Amino acid sequence: MTVRLLLVAPILVWSLAGCVTNHQRYDWGSYDPSLYAYYKDPTKEAALAESLAAVISTADSNHALVPPGIYAEYGYLQLQEGKNLAAVELFKQEEAHWPESKIFMDRMIKVASAAPQQRSTK
Amino acid sequence: MNPLSKVLIFGAVLMLAACASAPKRYDYANFRTESPRSILVVPVTNKSVDVNAPDYFLSSIATPLAERGYYVFPVNMVKSVLSDDGLSDANLVHSGDPRRLGELFGADAVMYISIERWDAKYVVLSTTVTVELNYSIKSTHTGQELWSNHQRVVYQPQSSGGGGLAGLLANAITAALAKAAPNYMPLAHQANSGAINLKGTGLPAGPYDGLFGKDAADY
């Protein structure tokens, strides 16, 4: 009986696996739910920024890839906060990790570099 | 026939059944010619009465596309940048030329999604929640459509535990809850998975997947 069960179990798992090709390529942290929460309530921008920063730091500490778009999303929130230098750094990171983003990131780096710094002294 | 071979055959039939429901294979000729590496998801158009549906949906689409192996442009940033450029109207973006979007963002392809339905219907004692979407990917080089898909996901809570008055009341309570705050996101995730991940109709593996360019048998 036990032997038969041992035989059946892997076959069931194998048959279930038939069409499932999904596996997690990246660790997204709470990116999806945070973006949803932000769209539901735009005052939750800080929480979204925090979750993006967490995705980056988790990937860094695991020596894993930061998922596509995450540096850029985080950089754009920084730009909206007037933190242009931080934004430029993040746009450069996106471009370095994901060459497909080059044209868009170059354009945004120009925008962020040209715009006046919010905290400039004069 | 010994019991083991019976089990094996049963397993094999189950495995086939798991894939058997796949509808007619999509024609990937145009897709294969371009073999896009990057996808720009533009803001979603909306035929439902829920004005928030496009944004809510947008939060669900980047991860399944990236997990399929594509570079996906930052969806929220793209939405904001388009809006800054005077393109906050999704309908306007959808009716525009994908080649122009390609120049602006450097994307190989643009994904257009329209929400056909996003609603909860309250009928007597039960609620039906429906999410229906059209997906289309167009080349930024030729403007041609490379892939399309249609998904309709319906959720209807089944009558819970036993019949009689207690059962009816339980249904009515579930229905009222679903009506007050239906959660569309599980349906949106299911729709995305049905559109992107099914062999024969979904998206071929992208460049960051080991099967990139090697899955012609399935797509």
Which tens digit of pLDDT belongs to each residue from A36-77?
Answer: 999 999 999 999 999 999 999 999 999 999 999 999 999 999
Chain B 87-116, CB below 8 Å of chain A: which residues? 104-108
β-pairing, B109-123 with B38-41?
A: parallel
β-pairing, B71-72 with B38-41?
A: parallel
Domain spans in chain A, listed from the N-terminal domain onward: 30-114
Rounded to whole angstroms, the Cα distance separating B161 from B163 reads: 7
State the pLDDT at residue B122: 79
Check A22 against B193: CB less than 8 A apart: yes
**Can you tell me the ipTM of this complex?**
0.82
Q: Give percent of chain B above pLDDT 70.
A: 79
Q: Read off the tokens for A14.
A: 């194998």
Q: Read off the tokens for B117.
A: 């339905």
Question: pLDDT band for position B5 (50/70/90)?
Answer: low
- What residue ranges define each of the domains in chain B, with the CATH number in brackets? 23-196 (3.40.50.10610)
The answer, yes or no, to whether residue B75 has pLDDT greater than 50, is yes
Rounded to whole angstroms, the Cα distance separating B58 from B151 reads: 16
Angle between helices A84-97 and A70-80 (to 10 degrees): 170
* B59 CB-side CA count, 13 A: 19
> What is the secondary structure of B16-28 as a DSSP string?
HHHHHT--SPP--
Task: Show residues of chain A in contact with B14, CB under 8 Å.
Answer: 12, 15-16, 18
DSSP conformation class of A44: G
Residues facing A101 on adjacent strands: none
Check B66 against A39: CB less than 8 A apart: no
- Tell me the pLDDT tens digit for each residue of B125-180: 778 899 999 999 999 999 999 999 999 999 886 655 556 666 667 777 666 666 66
β-pairing, B145-155 with B126-139?
A: antiparallel
Question: pLDDT band for position B24 (50/70/90)?
Answer: confident
More confident of the two residues B180 and B31: B31
How far A44 CA sits from the closest chain B CA (Å)?
14
State the pLDDT at residue B2: 63
Task: Show residues of chain B in contact with A22, CB under 8 Å.
Answer: 67, 193, 197
User: Do residues B55 and B22 touch, judged by C-beta distance below 8 A?
Assistant: no
The answer, yes or no, to whether residue A10 has pLDDT greater than 50, is no
For residue B140, which of B28, B29, B41, B58 has the smallest C-alpha distance?
B41
How far B7 CA sits from the closest chain A CA (Å)?
7
- Tell me the pLDDT tens digit for each residue of B179-202: 667 789 999 999 999 999 999 999
Looking at the domain that runs over A30-114, which CATH code has it been given?
1.25.40
Rounded to whole angstroms, the Cα distance separating B209 from B199 reads: 15
Rounded to whole angstroms, the Cα distance separating B218 from B80 reads: 37
Rounded to whole angstroms, the Cα distance separating B175 from B126 reads: 5
For residue B168, which of B159, B177, B176 has the smallest C-alpha distance?
B159
